[in-house]
Amino acid sequence: MQAEIIDHVKFGILSPEQIRRLSVAKLTVPDTYNEDGYPIDGGLLDQRLGVIDPGLICKSCGARAKVCPGHFGHIDLIRPVVHSEFSKIVYLLLQSTCQQCHRILLNEEQVGEVKGKIRTLVETEINENGVGTEGERMDERDTLFKKLRNIKKCPYCEAVQQKVKFESPTYFYFGEIRLKPDEIRDMLTKITNDDLRVIGIDPLTSRPEWLILSALLVPPVNVRPSITLESGERSEDDLTHKLVDIMRINQRLEQNINAGAPQIIIDDLWELLQYNVTTYFNNETPGIPPARHRSGRALKTLAQRLKGKEGRFRYNLSGKRVNYSARTVISVDPYINIDEVGVPFEIASRLTIPFYVTAWNLEKAKELSERKEYPMVMGVTSRDGKRKRITDINREEVIKAIQVGDILERQVANGDIALFNRQPSLHRPSIMMHKVKVLPSRTFRLNYCTTHPYNADFDGDEMNLHIPQTLEAQAEAEYLMSVKDQIFSPRNGEAIITNNEDGITGMYLLTQDDTKLDKEEASYLLSLADVFELPDKSSAGKYSGKDVFSMLLPKGLDFEQKTKRGVVRIKNGKLLEGVLSKATYGTGSKLLAKISVDFGNDVLKDFISRSGRVAYAYSTTHGITVGIREYLITPKIEEARNKILKDTFAKVQELIVQYKNKKLDALIGHTLKESLEMLIIAELDKARISAGEQLVTHTTGDNHAITMVNAGSRGSILNLVQMSMLLGQQATSSGGRIKRGYMTNRVLPHIVPGDISPVAKGFVTSSYYMGFEPIDMYMHAIGSRTSVVYKAMLTAKSGYLQRRLINALQDYQVEKDFTVRDVHGNIVQTSYGGDSLDPTKLDMAEVAAKE
């Protein structure tokens, strides 16, 4: 499809001659439409500049709107003006050249030196410290200009140089005398090409006198389309407005000059023309007021169109809009595989995927086109590029015309390749290839396991789906982006697509030593994993949970891992010992790495999908739920809590007394006051930990919250403690106890000034279950607000960090010799990471190395 490939882009400046040659029309009338609503000839919407209204024909190329690419026009400026964006360069050139003979202010020897330097130009200059960063480091070019600025005498004609003054944005002075743009132009014209080359300017494309404008290029109307409001009124683009202003002033200037007006009036108008041209290029030029719209809004002129996040570069060029995509809310479905995505029928019937007609599938193509219901062919693009929709009326004739080389547009169906994505796309697995699975209802469905790489949940999140169109794109998606190849994180090689939450709880419960299932239950569970045979019965005619799980493991798998809760041992695909939990089955699972190494990612992805279904089913039939029951405060717990609080407060009080009596020993490297604070914090922390211990020992019976903690699937003891015992210390962003508040050295008005006891500094003794006392509530609110504010700051900061990192490192790749180079061939590492190993495969390498 690529007709012509851009090899390189050369930048330069248009000369007035080039502008006039490029132009199709010299514009003279500072207006747009006449009374009849027709574009004025020689006006800013002259039909030679192209057309935007449908039906009209371009007077330059004869094409209609949308086909006509638009043509440039020009305005002849009566008096030249400085191109304000380049005024800094004009300034540098004025400083660098002689005011008499206009040669560069370097003698021949120095010129030779500079030329040599440029040839061996190193990117950066290293200062005497050897460190070159930030403002200190400069281009060779900048150094040269700096040097030239201070030369007081021309080495050729020996003329003494006056001080060149520059007043932003467009005023230049020699001493006190202001230079008019035409004078500047004359000086710049006299600089020789050779001298320009010394400075680094390519004179063929960028003669500096062209920086002084005597002809202004007017962009085609396509670039500045006018819009018709509902009222029938026309509204012009900001650029058109600006150009009208320029032409008006230009016209007035001309009239005044012709009428022989006094110099002051001419100069005033000249200046006004300069202002309007300046704001036409950049309406945020520092030092001058922005041109405004009638409504008072600042006009958006050329520079504003390019700049910033919403500018042409970042909004339209770095990021592009695409077709063949869909977006909707996501929801769960554990019954689809991890590499599938449930696509609503309504979406599947609108998205299409190309079917390339070849000699080998011509029959199939015709057959497919016959279909009158989903999945059917929606349209045909014939080999000469004509598109045709298939309707019930024209189907017969279109089918007849189908031949090799045509492309059919078929509705998306099961098994088609799709890319699935959730923003923010922070890492590679934020966009993965899933196989389409068409489902009823209106949400995208995804397996819970893939939730982690996308960082998705189901509280209303939306995701995007893209259908790659070319075979090349489909192949790349399938072989590089598919879910099964993203199971292990490129960040550290840990498995990130794993079962989680109830998936882990279910597996934890299923593989308990005492789990026994009857035949019905075992069959049901295994049927979900497409296993239709039962394991050997264990005692009492029941099936053990471990044996049922073993049916899911690939035959021949040997695995062993020591965890905090004992060993998990798998021999020849049978779980002999141990309970599966997050450590073995969840994120970072070595078991999954082992399966990948021994059996490949296809087996692994099936294992995750199938075992997940069994786990969810088991946690459902077993019943795992939490309610208020889980957090009840029994008398024993309350007793333990009171004791902990009493002890802790006593200890803290003791510390304070010690401190006041100067008996406290300072921690090494800290002042006494710091030490006290640190010791108190440590004491309060201890209270929370012992509260956790007490809570676990005093919780009786089957507590699902604790089950989940043990399985590692959700929650921690800290959560439990905060709900049923005490909330603990509320932190501030500085990491210490809450300290600021009233000027009288207290956080809240309820507190005695200077009190540093736990409660006075944000230690909350109530639990969520008990409810808060007013002080507790305020302290908790302080902690909550702090973390909300901090979080907001963090996301903004880390987003920018990410953008900078990607921008800095995006050109690096591993070459075939395992060196890391940028696209220009500069070597960054001689062997990737020193050993050329892929971090994605690290966990796998680790398990493989054990053998």
Partner 1 sequence: MARKNNFLVTPGEPVGVIAAQSIGEPGTQMVLRSFHYAGVASSIATSGLPRLVEIVDTRKKPATPFAYVYLKGKAAKDFETAEQIAKKINEVRVSDIARRVIENFSKGTITIKMDVQRLQANELTARGVGSKIEKLTKTESRANENAILINTHTKNAKQIRTMAVQIGKMTINGIEGAGRAVVQEDKKSGEFFIQTNNSSLSEIMQVEGVDTSRVYTNDIFEMYRIFGVEAARNTISRELSTTLREQGIAVDPRHLDILADAMTSNGAIKNVGRRGLSGEKESIFARAAYEETVKHLINAAAFGERDDMKGVTENVLIGKQIMLGTGTITLAIKKEDLAKISGKEKKK
Single-letter amino acid code for the residue at 209: E
**CB of 492 or CB of 642, closer to partner 1:** 492
Tell the smallest beta-carbon distance from residue 604 to partner 1 (Å): 15
Nearer to partner 1, 282 or 369 (CB): 282
Q: How far is the CB of 461 from partner 1 (least distance, A)?
A: 16
Distance CA(564)–CA(729), nearest Å, equals 28
The residue written with tokens 């299923």 in the block is: 510
Decide: is 772 part of the binding site for partner 1 (CB under 8 A). no
Measured from the CB atom, is 324 or 616 closer to partner 1?
Answer: 324
Residue 87 backbone dihedrals phi, psi, to 5 degrees? -65, -25
Please tell me whether residue 839 binds partner 1 under the rule CB under 8 A. Answer: yes
Q: How far apart are CA 183 and CA 189, in angstroms?
A: 10
The footprint of partner 1 on residues 23-62 (CB under 8 A) is none
- Of 289-348, which residues contact partner 1 (CB under 8 A)? 303, 306-308, 311, 313-314, 317-318, 320
Give the residue among 215, 249, 237 at the shortest CA–CA distance from 44: 237
Sole binder of partner 1 in the list 259, 264, 540, 668 (CB under 8 A)? 668
Angle of helix 502-510 relative to helix 601-622, nearest 10 degrees, comes to 80
Three-state secondary structure readout of 732-785 = CCCCCECCCCECCCECCCCCCCCCCCCHHHCEECCCCCCCCCHHHHHHHHHHHH
CA distance 355 to 409: 6
Site for partner 1, residues 683 to 702, rule: CB under 8 A: 685
Min dist. Cβ of residue 356 to partner 1 (A): 13
Q: Which residue type occupies 275?
A: Y
Query: Measured from the CB of residue 199, what is the shortest distance to partner 1 in angstroms?
Result: 8
User: Residue 290 or residue 839: which is nearer to partner 1 going by CB?
Assistant: 839
- Please report, for residues 115, 182, 822, the alpha-carbon distance to residue 119 in angstroms, rounded to integers and kept in the order given: 6, 35, 22
User: CB 111 → partner 1: shortest distance, Å?
Assistant: 18
Q: Which residues of 379-403 are buried (b: 16+ CB within 10 A; e: fewer)?
A: ebebeeeeeeebeeeebeebbeebe
396 Cα distance to chain centroid: 48
Q: Residue 811 interacts with partner 1 (CB under 8 A)? A: yes
Measured from the Cβ of residue 615, the count of other Cβ atoms closer than 10 Å reads: 32
CA distances from 583 to 449, 508, 561, 563 (A): 16, 11, 9, 7
Residue 808 within binding range of partner 1, rule CB under 8 A: yes
Going by C-beta distance under 8 Å and a sequence separation of 6 or more, which residues neighbour residue 229?
235
Q: Are 745 and 788 in contact (CB under 8 A)?
A: no
- Interaction of residue 841 with partner 1, rule CB under 8 A: yes
Q: Of 217, 201, 479, 443, which is closest to residue 331 (Cα–Cα)?
A: 443
> Given the complex with partner 1, which of 520 and 665 has the nearer CB atom?
665
The residue count for binding partner 1 (CB under 8 A) is 119
The DSSP secondary structure of 572-616, one letter per residue, reads TTEEEE----HHHHSTT-HHHHHHHHHH-HHHHHHHHHHHHHHHH
Stretch that binds partner 1, among 217-225, 534-542, 557-565, 725-733 (CB under 8 A): 725-733
Report yes or no: 653 and 757 within 8 Å, Cβ to Cβ.
yes
Out of 3, 9, 259, 264, which residue is the one contacting partner 1 (CB under 8 A)? 9
When binding is defined by CB under 8 A, the residue of 151, 257, 656, 837 that contacts partner 1 is 837
Q: Should residue 828 be labelled a site residue for partner 1 when binding is judged by CB under 8 A?
A: yes
Decide whether 284 or 702 has the Cβ nearer to partner 1.
Answer: 284
- Work out which of 46, 236, 494, 502 binds partner 1, going by CB under 8 A: 494
Whole-number Å distance between alpha carbons of 577 and 814: 43
Residue 3 in the binding site for partner 1 (CB under 8 A): no
Structure tokens that stand for 86 in this block: 């380049």
Find the binder of partner 1 among 449, 592, 679, 687 (CB under 8 A): 679
Burial class (CB in 10 A: 0-12, 13-18, 19+), 412: buried
Binding to partner 1 in span 272-291, by CB under 8 A = 282
Shortest distance (Å) from residue 611 CB to partner 1? 24
5 binds partner 1 (CB under 8 A): yes
Which residues between 350 and 379 bind partner 1 (CB under 8 A)? 358-359
Q: Using the minimum distance from each CB to partner 1, give the nearer residue, 346 or 815.
A: 815
Segment near partner 1 (CB under 8 A), from 8-16, 26-34, 392-400, 693-701? 8-16
Contacts to partner 1 from residues 429-458, by CB under 8 A: none
For partner 1, the binding residues in 188-217 under the rule CB under 8 A are: 200-206, 208, 211
Phi-psi region of 160 (alpha: psi -120 to 50; beta: other; left: phi over 0): beta
- Cα→Cα distances 672→88, 654, 682, Å: 59, 15, 15
Candidates 66, 383, 636, 670; binder of partner 1 (CB under 8 A) is 670
Instruction: Find the binder of partner 1 among 134, 230, 233, 459 (CB under 8 A).
Output: 134
Comparison of 438 and 720: residue with beta carbon closer to partner 1: 720
Candidates 111, 265, 329, 814; binder of partner 1 (CB under 8 A) is 814
Among positions 227, 423, 790, 792, the unique one binding partner 1 when judged by CB under 8 A: 790
Does residue 672 belong to the site contacting partner 1 (CB under 8 A)? Answer: no
Task: Please report, as residue ranges, which positions from 85 to 114 form the binding site for partner 1 (by CB under 8 A).
Answer: 85-86, 89
Residues numbered 61 to 80 that lie near partner 1 (CB under 8 A) are none
The smaller minimum CB distance to partner 1, of residues 491 and 646, is found at 491
Residue whose CB is less far from partner 1, 123 or 514: 123
Alpha helices in 307-458 (DSSP H): 345-348, 362-370, 395-401, 451-454
> Would you count residue 664 as binding partner 1 (CB under 8 A)?
no
